[in-house]
Chains A and B, each alone.
Chain A
Amino acid sequence: AQKITQTQPGMFVQEKEAVTLDCTYDTSDPSYGLFWYKQPSSGEMIFLIYQGSYDQQNATEGRYSLNFQKARKSANLVISASQLGDSAMYFCAMRRNTGNQFYFGTGTSLTVIP
């Protein structure tokens, strides 16, 4: 069963604008972790940001922030002031409290337009 859903296969954003990449998840566990990764064209997966299910505040890391809405089971990534180097695939992932497995979405391809 699909546990992570990313509904946007591709997104475009103007340089210096903000963009939101959507992610919804499905779990009945009370405790879980949510991650976002960036994959540039070179192929390496880069960890961006983490949100715990019990965290009271939305996570932020520089220009990245996570809009966490627990009741809606969504964990959208917000990138502020987009840069050309932000063009990449972005993956949302979840780690459940039971087991060591990570579940990944199908990814969103972001293109930043100069």
Chain B
Amino acid sequence: DVKVTQSSRYLVKRTGEKVFLECVQDMDHENMFWYRQDPGLGLRLIYFSYDVKMKEKGDIPEGYSVSREKKERFSLILESASTNQTSMYLCASSLGQDLYNEQFFGPGTRLTVL
């Protein structure tokens, strides 16, 4: 079974702090994704990566950056956390380029910025 793990289930940070959210997948997937989920807005893509050291902006990249130094690990960085970044953050991975390859999701990190 594919397993996608995220470093924390719950996180509380203060405004202005630098925040790292870590995601690791164990099935050698090429593609990895970071979403934020807010009520009524569904899942919005922040960044995704289709290979090591490669990254693409999603729909809402402002205020975020990412790092993918190893294939299995994709990190989301909030350089200076703000209260409007309080949200549920979901990491996902998928295999290859075929359309039928679904995404596998981690359990999510609920981030609160005070």
Q: Do A and B come from one complex?
A: yes
User: What residues of chain A have their CB less than 8 Å away from a CB belonging to chain B?
Assistant: 6, 9, 31-33, 35, 37, 43-45, 47, 50, 52-53, 91, 93, 95, 97, 99-102, 104-107
User: What residues of chain B have their CB less than 8 Å away from a CB belonging to chain A?
Assistant: 31, 33, 35, 40-45, 48, 50, 56, 58, 88, 90, 92, 94, 97, 99-100, 102-105, 107-108
B-side interface mostly:
strand
How many A-B pairs have beta carbons closer than 8 Å: the answer is 57
Q: CA–CA, A100 to B31, complex, Å?
A: 8
Residues of B within 8 A of A31 (CB): 99
Q: CA–CA, A32 to B99, complex, Å?
A: 6
Q: CA–CA, A45 to B74, complex, Å?
A: 18
Q: CA–CA, A52 to B98, complex, Å?
A: 11
Residues of A within 8 A of B94 (CB): 100, 102
* Cβ-defined partner of B42 (8 Å) among A97, A100, A107: A107
* Given A52-B99, A100-B97: A43 in contact with B45 (beta carbons within 8 A): no
Q: Which residue of B lies closest to A50 (CB)?
A: B100
Q: CA–CA, A52 to B97, complex, Å?
A: 14
